[in-house]
Amino acid sequence: MNFRPHRSDAPEINLIPFIDVLLVVLIFLMLSTTYSTHTQMQITLPTADTERQREQPKALRIGVTAGGNYSVNDQMLSGKTIKPLLAALTQAASAGPDTVVVISADAKATHQSVVTAMEAARRAGLSRITFAMQSTLGKNTK
């Protein structure tokens, strides 16, 4: 019987093939990954190629300036809130609920200003809303 302890060396782990495999996987993932790019949309509003519309006999015009001021039937209102606009719409909407509201907003007016005009029309009981646009017919477009 041999009672001497066996002297065994610790097994060596070769890391070079492991690193090679990881590099191949990393290169594969880098080449197969698609990167999404976010682009900024360039929007110019409002223009449309339309024919001149008939005048509505019961039309109520709301004007929205670039600064957020309102006018009802070409009468400027004081303030940029919904209260004076709602009071003017309620007074001007005496023709009935079938009155058509025409919103003429400046191209640089904020969306909130236009939404406020729509909300005031809704609160005044006017549900027929349309938007006025500048016609591009006859203009030289490049």
Fold of the 59-134 domain: Nucleotidyltransferase; domain 5 (3.30.420)
Contact 58, 96 (CB under 8 A): yes
Q: What is the pLDDT of residues 110-121, one digit of tens each?
A: 889 899 999 998
Residue that is written with structure tokens 């339309």 in the block: 50
So where are the chain's domains?
Answer: 59-134
- Residue 61, beta-bridge partner list: 102
- Amino acid of residue 132: A
Report pLDDT for 55: 52
Report pLDDT for 20: 95
Q: What is the pLDDT of residues 18-49, one digit of tens each?
A: 999 999 999 998 888 776 655 555 555 566 66
Report pLDDT for 56: 45
Q: What 3 state SS string does the chain have? A: CCCCCCCCCCCCCCCHHHHHHHHHHHHHHHHHCCCCCCCCCCCCCCEECCCCCCCCCCEEEEEECCCCCEEECCEECCCCCHHHHHHHHHHHCCCCCCCEEEEEECCCCCHHHHHHHHHHHHHCCCCEEEECCEECCCCCCC
Compare 125 and 36 and report the one with higher pLDDT: 125
Q: What is the pLDDT of residues 69-100, one digit of tens each?
A: 888 888 888 878 888 888 888 887 776 767 88
Residue 130 has pLDDT above 70, yes or no: yes
